[in-house]
Amino acid sequence: MSKLLVRSNHRERQRMADASVVAGEMEVVERSGRPAPGELWYAAAKGRLDDVQELLASGAPVQERLAPDAFTPIQAATIRAHRDVICLLLASNADPNDADRRGYSPLHFAAGRGDVAIVRMLLEAKADTAATSQVGWKPLHLAAIQGSCTVLRLLLHHRADIEAKCSLGQTALHFASSHGHRDFVLALLEADAERYARDNDGNTPLDIARARHRCTTVALLQNFHKIRSQPQSTADHRNGIGRLASLLNIGAWALRLASTIVNRKMRLRVRRLNTR
């Protein structure tokens, strides 16, 4: 543990502190009297609810930022998932849309962690689902990487753009397909996400899934329209996709096994030829 004590507005010191929040290697230095620069930030990052409450009552600025490109207390608390601290900061009028130097808001961090409670808390505080990072990522993109369907439904309920694209031209469906989150892909498709959306390289979510060998996701993207067109209940609909995915898993396993056997036979044949 390294003790970090901010005594000035030096930008490099704040960057080091931001990194230690992410890595979880920070220890808060106790102070007394009037809040010094950085005290609220450190207490929020460490999750010390009593200290945060005392500092706020002593007049510590809730939007404290020790450098123009540094984290705020609510961002630091969100990264470390300190829910009680986040709730207290929001009640003290902390801005849920305050972004860091890369454009990531607290909602980005919470969605990327799949933390349903914090996502719901931020959305109720009017967090913007359209917040965009420097590379064009929205909270929905990070949710697609993590794969939480509950977070997805919360974001869509608060009018997140299901077709929003990042700087590479990829939608949340591209992201979820790349990571093989079948249930997340299914939820996107059921919410009418565009299956044939193309990124800047002309790739569809199906192309991405094929390139990453996501067999069950490939099957879902290829056959969703067939399953959806059949009159059946929601339970039957999901069970049908589940059975299809299971069959694809078995098929993929059988193909890998056959390929392994063929490769071994070929190697044995080559060895025999070399020994003659």
- pLDDT class for 28, splitting at 50, 70, 90? very low
Q: What is the pLDDT of residue 228?
A: 65
**With bands split at pLDDT 50, 70 and 90, how would you rate the model's confidence at 272?**
confident
Lowest-pLDDT range of 65-69, 169-173, 243-247: 243-247
- Taking only the tens place, the pLDDT of each residue in 220-235 is 999 987 766 665 555 5
For residue 103, what pLDDT is reported? 93
* Collapsed DSSP state (helix, strand, coil) of residue 1: coil
Per-residue model confidence (pLDDT) at position 244: 58
Q: Which helix (H) or strand (E) holds 39?
A: helix 39-46
**Against a cut of 0.95, is the pTM above it?**
no
What pLDDT, on a 0 to 100 scale, did the predictor assign at position 249?
Answer: 60
- The top-scoring range by mean pLDDT among 64-78, 188-202, 240-254 is 188-202
Residue 31 has pLDDT above 50, yes or no: no
**Lowest-pLDDT choice from 187-191, 213-217, 262-266:** 262-266
In this prediction, residues 66-94 reach a mean pLDDT of 92
Core vs surface per residue 21-55: b (16+ CB within 10 A) or e: beeeebebeeeeeebbebbbbbbbbbbbbebbeeb
Angstrom distance (rounded) from CA 113 to CA 107: 10
Judged by average pLDDT, the poorest of 31-40, 55-64, 76-85, 129-138 is 31-40
Phi and psi at residue 3, to the nearest 5°:
-85, 120
Is the pLDDT score of 25 beyond 60? no
Look at 75 and 33; give whichever has higher pLDDT: 75
Return the domain boundaries, the chain: 1-95
How do residues 195-208 score in pLDDT, each as one tens digit?
999 999 999 999 99
Mean pLDDT is lowest, of 32-46, 75-89, 101-115, 257-271, for 257-271
Q: Is residue 79 predicted with pLDDT exceeding 60?
A: yes
- The interaxial angle of helices 182-190 and 149-157, nearest 10 deg, is 20
Select the more confidently predicted residue: 238 or 1: 238
Q: Given pLDDT bands bounded at 50, 70 and 90, which one contains residue 118?
A: very high
Q: Which CATH number fits domain 1-95: 3.50.50.60, 1.25.40.20, 3.40.50.300, 3.40.50.150?
A: 1.25.40.20
CB–CB of 122/110 below 8 Å?
yes
pLDDT band at 22 (very low <50, low <70, confident <90, very high): low
